[in-house]
Amino acid sequence: MTITQTSFAFVSDLVRRETAMLYDPGKEYLVEARLLPLAREAGCPDVDSYVAKLVTNPAERDKVLDALTINETSWFRDNAPYQAFTDMMLPPLLAARSHVRHLSIWSAACSSGQEAYSLAMLLDQHLPSGWTAQILASDVSSTMLDRVRAGRYSQVEMNRGMPATSLVKYFSRTGSEWEVCDDLKKMVRTQSLNLSTPFPLLPTFDIVFLRNVLIYFDLDTKRDILRRVHRVVASDGFLLLGTSETTLDLDEHWGREAHGRVQVHRPTTTAAEQWQPTAMTGA
C-alpha cells in the first residue's frame, strides 16, 4: 500500500461530500486498488500523483466517484425479498389498487439494474392482464444508469442468480452479452438521484427497494434518507432494505413485519403526520 494519508483523506472527503459514502481509515487498500487503473489510464506513475491531478481537474473526479461507489449486485439478490414481493406485498396491493390498476415501484440505488429488472420480470408474471407498472431505477452513478438503459449483461453477470427459464423468456443474445427485452425495458425508467441530498419531485411509490446502500452511510444520513423515503411511500406501501440494514432505532415512523427471513418495513404514520414545517427543501 503506497497511498499517502493526505491523498486518502482528499479522496474520502470527496466521496463523502458527493455521495455520503464513508471511506474510513483502514480502507486505504480499497481506494488504492480502485484508483490504480484510473491512474494508469491518466498516465500517472502512482495513485498519489493521480490524486494530485484531481485537485486541478474536476472532470476526472466523476471517474473517481464511479470507481468508488460499490456496485455489487445480482439477479433476485438474496431471493427472500423477491419471495416477499410476490407473496406478501403484491396480493394486498392488487386488491387496494384495483381502481387504478397500476403499481409504482422504486429501485433506489439500482446499480446496473438487476434489481429493477428482477422486479419487472416478477411483475410481468404476476400482474393481472390490463394492469400496468412503472419501476423507477435511480442511482448516483451515471455509468450505472447508462448500463440500466442499455440492459446488457455479460455471461458472468447472468450466472449470478438468473434462472434459465427467465433468461430464455426475457433475454436475447447480442454478441457476447445478453440484452433484456423491450417489454421489460419499457417498464423501467431511470433517473439520476443522490439519496443523500433532498429528493426531486417524486411520485408516491407502492413499494421501495432501498437495498444494500444505507450500510455505506453514517447514522444521520441513514435517518435523513429513511425520513425522506417515508414521505414518498404510500401509507399502505412497503419498504425493503438489505439483509444487514434496518429502520430499528433509526426512524420511529416505520413498523416491521417478518416474512420468513425478511423484515418488511411499513409506514406507521402517514407522510402528512410526519411532515415538519421546517422541511421546505424537497422530500
Contact residues for ligand SAM, defined by CB under 6 A: 19-21, 69-73, 77, 109-111, 115, 139-141, 144, 194-196, 211-213, 242
Closest distance of CB 249 from ligand SAM, Å: 21
Residue 110 phi/psi, 5-degree rounding, is -85, -10
Q: Least distance (Å) from ligand SAM to the CB of residue 272?
A: 26
Residues 49 and 134 sit within 8 Å (Cβ to Cβ):
no
Q: Which is nearer to ligand SAM, 70 or 94 (CB)?
A: 70
Of 161 and 259, CB closest to ligand SAM: 161
Nearer to ligand SAM, 48 or 217 (CB): 217
Cell numbers representing residue 174 in the block: 447480442
User: Could you tell me the smallest distance in angstroms from the CB atom of residue 73 to ligand SAM?
Assistant: 3
- Of 71 and 134, which CB lies nearer to ligand SAM in the complex structure? 71
CB of 42 to ligand SAM, least distance (A): 22
Comparing CB distances to ligand SAM, the nearer of 222 and 253 is: 222
> How near is the Cβ of 217 to ligand SAM at its closest, in Å?
7
